[in-house]
A = this chain, B = another copy of it.
């Protein structure tokens, strides 16, 4: 029950993008320089963020990334879901693959785990990038 370093990196990188928002894209190397993050790793994360529509990219020299939504339309849930690929399955399963944790699916605890999942997702969805950067 913890948030990954990966998610933390993504939040920092996106905050950097948000704080310096303009029409001009910002490069990964610039972001990583400011926030002291591993460039190649963050590149990967941004491809996922792009896939989920949180950012858009501009190729080539003078290229980089831009936010693709308003600050109050990007939630922590969005970020985690983009970056952490197995974010929030029904906990009944434990890991990505069903390891027969509860034989006889759905077991008596299925609803419990589902409720918890929903609560967590809703909570994380209520935390927006806007609110995150407002406190920096």
Contacts and interface: CB of A to CB of B under 8 A. Distances in A.
A132 B112 contact: yes
Interface in A50-93: 76, 80, 84, 86-89, 91-92
A84 to B, nearest CB: 7
A2 to B, nearest CB: 6
Contacts of A41: none
A136 B15 CA distance: 44
Nearest to A99: B5
A3 B101 CA distance: 13
A119 to B, nearest CB: 6
Total copies of this chain within the assembly: 2
A108 B91 contact: no
Nearest to A112: B132
A116 interface: yes
Contacts of A127: 112, 116
A36 B101 CA distance: 9
Contacts of A92: 8
Nearest to A77: B1
Interface of A: 1-5, 7-8, 11-12, 15, 36, 76, 80, 84, 86-89, 91-92, 94-95, 99, 101-103, 108-109, 111-113, 116, 119-120, 123-124, 127, 132, 135-136
